[in-house]
């Protein structure tokens, strides 16, 4: 899990560097995602490994879909930005697949947690896209 954290810190650095180069500030949901991510991580950490796997899977599932949409759009609109997004895609896929392999899908609580986290992640992304 420390490796995942290192990846996420590197992703933040990559995006911040790119945004600085093009003179754009962070999206409005940046701090919302940070606070929500910390709270979600804290709560699921208390629940246990199954909740952590479900949460990671849910977040990464939405993030991968969003990144794929962005990569398709940026292919012609902004190749430099596409390269920036492309640099993190494989790490996110790795996080998703690792969490999925640890996921216990048979419980209703796991399914509920995944649904709530996916919805919340989607909302944070939509707010940030405004």
Map out the domains of the chain as residue ranges. 2-128
Length of the chain (residues): 130
Signed CA dihedral, 38, 98, 71, 69: sign only: negative
Q: What is the pLDDT along the chain (130 residues), one digit of tens a residue?
A: 677 778 778 877 877 887 788 888 887 788 888 888 899 999 999 999 999 999 999 999 999 999 999 999 988 888 888 888 888 898 889 999 999 998 877 788 899 999 999 999 999 998 888 7
Q: Are the CB atoms for 99 and 57 separated by under 8 Å? A: yes
Q: Residues 61, 53: contact at Cβ < 8 Å?
A: no
Q: What share of the chain is helix, strand, coil (3-state, %, to 5)?
A: 85, 0, 15
């Amino acid at each position: 899990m420390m490796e995942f954290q290192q990846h996420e810190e590197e992703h933040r650095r990559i995006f911040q560097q790119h945004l600085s180069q093009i003179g754009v500030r962070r999206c409005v949901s940046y701090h919302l995602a940070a606070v929500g991510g910390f709270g979600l991580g804290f709560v699921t950490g208390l629940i246990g490994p199954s909740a952590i796997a479900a949460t990671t899977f849910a977040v990464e599932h939405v993030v991968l879909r969003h990144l794929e949409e962005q990569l398709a759009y940026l292919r012609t609109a902004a190749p430099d930005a596409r390269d920036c997004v492309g640099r993190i895609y494989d790490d996110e896929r790795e996080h998703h697949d690792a969490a999925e392999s640890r996921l216990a899908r048979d419980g209703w609580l796991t399914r509920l947690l995944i649904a709530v986290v996916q919805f919340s992640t989607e909302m944070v992304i939509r707010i940030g896209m405004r």
